[in-house]
């Protein structure tokens, strides 16, 4: 399998540079420089090895069959192009990432819709400075004080209520410690 010669970088350096954080610009510049040096070094070499004039060496070397032996070995020499065993893995990772991105976008769109509903609900409420305790209770039943159905002690925080247990206490009970 003959490999095609790469004549230029297929990397869009300007698009890649836009994504590099400011703190890593110097490292990115060094990486690009090394890449450019490598591409120039590869391009400085000919695409194929130079042709050998075997007839010249047959006339010059008196040992019979030596040049023929070298020619046979040289012509039989084949440097295999490395097999690509990584592209499939990279493609699978890209596909997995695309799936994760798609799922994240869907979840984000759902969150945005929920937040927009919350914003619409808040905009529909009376301003807080005009709201009575009853208006607040109607708008926020979970957080409003309800002295009849759910009486609480001042300062009405969860930590000050009867039966409150801290996270540490709940974890200790879950592990069997009392």
Q: What is d(CA 172, CA 81) in angstroms, rounded to the nearest whole number?
A: 62
Which residues make Cβ contacts (< 8 Å) with residue 36, sequence separation at least 6?
A: 9
Quote helix, strand, coil % in the chain, to nearest 5: 60, 0, 40
Q: pLDDT by residue (tens digit) across 90-148?
A: 999 999 999 999 999 999 999 999 999 999 989 999 998 999 988 988 888 888 877 88
**pLDDT value, residue 1:** 43
Give the helix/strand (H/E) hosting 87: helix 87-124
Determine what percent of the chain is predicted with pLDDT higher than 90. 33
pLDDT of residue 6: 66
pLDDT at residue 14 greater than cutoff 70: yes
Q: Identify the bridge partners of residue 146 per DSSP, sorted by sequence position.
A: 150
Domain boundaries, the chain: 128-174
> Which DSSP letter does residue 146 get?
B
How confident is the model over 35-62, as pLDDT tens digits? 989 888 888 888 877 888 988 988 888 8
Is the pTM of the predicted complex or chain greater than 0.75?
no
- Show the tokens assigned to 32: 């690009």
* Paired tokens of 126: 């009376």
Note if the bond before 155 is cis, omega within 30 degrees.
Answer: yes
């Amino acid at each position: 399998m003959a490999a095609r010669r790469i004549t230029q970088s297929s990397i869009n350096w300007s698009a890649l540079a836009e994504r590099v954080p400011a703190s890593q610009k110097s490292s990115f510049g060094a990486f690009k420089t090394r890449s450019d040096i490598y591409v120039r070094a590869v391009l400085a070499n000919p695409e194929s090895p130079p042709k050998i004039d075997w007839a010249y060496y047959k006339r010059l070397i008196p040992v019979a069959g030596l040049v023929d032996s070298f020619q046979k070995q040289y012509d039989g020499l084949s440097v295999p192009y490395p097999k690509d065993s990584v592209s499939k893995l990279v493609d699978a990772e890209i596909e997995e990432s695309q799936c994760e991105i798609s799922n994240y976008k869907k979840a984000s769109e759902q969150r945005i819709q929920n937040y927009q509903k919350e914003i619409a609900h808040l905009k529909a409420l009376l301003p807080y400075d005009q709201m009575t305790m009853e208006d607040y209770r109607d708008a926020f039943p979970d957080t409003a004080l309800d002295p009849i159905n759910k009486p609480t002690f001042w300062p009405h925080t969860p930590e000050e209520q009867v039966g409150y247990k801290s996270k540490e206490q709940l974890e200790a009970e879950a592990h069997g410690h009392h």
